[in-house]
Structure 1
């Protein structure tokens, strides 16, 4: 089977795409052994090293697996989804449940570990959130999430920070949708200010229990709204 010669340019990327299309399109079913590197290189019009890199990329996507002494076999016809893709496709209620687990722990750690710089950052973030009370929804939501990021940062745990950073794009869009759909700021442009002030105060006072409770109360309130839709 001829796959057609490729144009010069990023050959590894082109070879990867062409081979992935053959797999996802059903040309090679699960369990099929792929042609050898030499045969693939000839069909694609590239060198064996390019094929090798393409196969490595497909293995990383969970589509193929090299078996020593046997060759390369198709193990899936759909690439595995990375974490960011899973978050974008997940139900927002599921995202919020996981967010609660992450942030409540982060708030408690922040209360135990916050520094003077963290305290200043938290006060600045709360002030910014208040300053955007009469701004548009997008700016207000951005300031809201920035305050939560400041709390997570005060926990001084790079893994927690990294996890929350992955959540931010999804949270920002979904929270904006929620605010606009339910018109949450029509009666109170600074919706949620009291709860956020309690959270910041608890972290500043090093009250881990109160910080976790404040965060949980806020997220449970939002989760209840999401379940009501």
Structure 2
């Protein structure tokens, strides 16, 4: 059966953000225009003023709006990088695996061709840190594992891929969390990480990509 549940649950603030971003995208307000007040938005969206306030803070942090103390909020931009995370947070486990197959596998194939000695040194340190946590606290292990995988993608020396993977890493973490909460951690699975790093060091892109696929299918 296909897993269709979102990997990251949506909060009330997330729902408010979705409605506000939709209005911005649809051109409800022009750049430079003053937005409705919090009470007005609260009534329009049917949500509490506190929820509206938190959503507006997120929009200000992402650069979409400017909050002027004592004056109000003004639209600054219609391009929202945090909207990428909103879309990603709705993906299912199956969708996350498919996306990793496209993004991470190809990046690691490039990493095997382009890695430097400095990359290998950083990767070994990251893998050792991850190994020390593999049978311990789950959240600590996931954090360390994400660092290792980010360094692998970084070794491709493609800033666009690195940036995309950094956005996607929250979904990778959610995927690992969902899987490892119900599946016992096995040393044989972790050992695939060591084999993967060996393939990158030996500049064997086909083997590196094959091992990466195994890890994605069986974290």
Q: CA deviation at 1:114?
A: 0.4
SS of structure 2 residue aligned to 1:54: strand
Q: Which runs of 5+ in 2 are unaligned?
A: 1-30, 47-70
Equivalent of residue 204 in structure 2, options 204, 207, 211: 207
State the structure with more CA Rg. 1
Q: Are 2:189 and 2:218, in contact at CA under 8 Å, matched by a contact in 1?
A: no
Which one scores higher on RCO, CA 8 angstroms, separation ≥ 6? 2
Q: CA deviation at 1:191?
A: 5.7
SS of structure 1 residue aligned to 2:203: coil
TM-score, normalisation: structure 1: 0.62
Q: CA deviation at 1:106?
A: 0.7
Correspondence for 1:117? 118
Distance 1:196 1:95, change over 3 A: same
Q: Distance in 2 between matches of 1:207 and 1:17?
A: 57
| 4+ runs deviating over 3 angstroms | 12-15, 17-22, 53-57
Q: Does 1:195 align with 2:189?
A: no
How many correspondences in the alignment? 164
**Correspondence list, 1:1-229, <5 A:** 15-18=34-37, 21=41, 25=45, 54=74, 57=77, 60=78, 82-180=83-181, 182-185=182-185, 188=186, 190=187, 192-222=189-219
Distance 1:55 1:120, change over 3 A: closer
Q: CA deviation at 1:90?
A: 1.6
Per-residue displacement from partner, 1:118-158 (whole Å, max 9, x unpaired)? 01111112211111123211111112222111110100000
TM-score, normalisation: structure 2: 0.64
